[in-house]
Amino acid sequence: MVRSKKKTGLGGWLFLALVLAAYGVTAAIDAEALHFFAKVMGSVVPALVIVFFLLLAADLLLQPKWIRRNLGREAGVRAWLLAAVGGVFASGPVYAWYALVGELREKGMRASIATVFLYSRAVKLPLLPLMIHYFGTAYTLVLCLYLLGFSIVNGLLMVKLENREII
């Protein structure tokens, strides 16, 4: 696995300042924009708080040795199944999972397993009854199997890319 160095510097703070300045100018021109921003932040902040606690739990509970053993190169089929099942059960917005998957990747999770996890999120358990109601059981089952199957195919494609050390 190719490890990248942590970026340091003022780039992130500069970006934050520019975004806040842009919102300030927009609010001065149109006060409704500030109200919209507050509304959006009200819906995003709870997800970010959950992400923070998931990252904290992952950092405290998931040791690099466990991740390498269960989600790394030597994990085998178990890692693929764990990623697919975990992706199906994962709920919430995908951006909330990027930070956690990135943290797991830094601790030894393979990119192919991360691919399977993120792709498997397309199967939404809470929506399955509604989908069965509108499209029928056969269609829903076939679609879910295709989604899970293609998550594995995408993971296998990522293995090919990993072996070439492109990523």
Q: Residues near 166 by Cβ (< 8 Å), separated by ≥ 6?
A: none
pLDDT per residue as tens digits for the range 55-111: 777 677 767 677 767 776 677 788 888 889 888 888 777 877 888 888 888 888 888
Q: Please give the model's pTM, rounded to 2 decimal places.
A: 0.62
pLDDT tens for each residue of 129-149: 889 999 999 999 999 999 999
Which alpha helices (H) appear in the chain, and where do they start and end?
A: 11-29, 31-61, 64-71, 77-89, 94-106, 111-120, 128-135, 137-163
87 within 8 A of 116, measured Cβ to Cβ: yes
Please say whether the beta carbons of 103 and 55 come within 8 A: yes
Both tokens of 52, joined, read: 């923070």
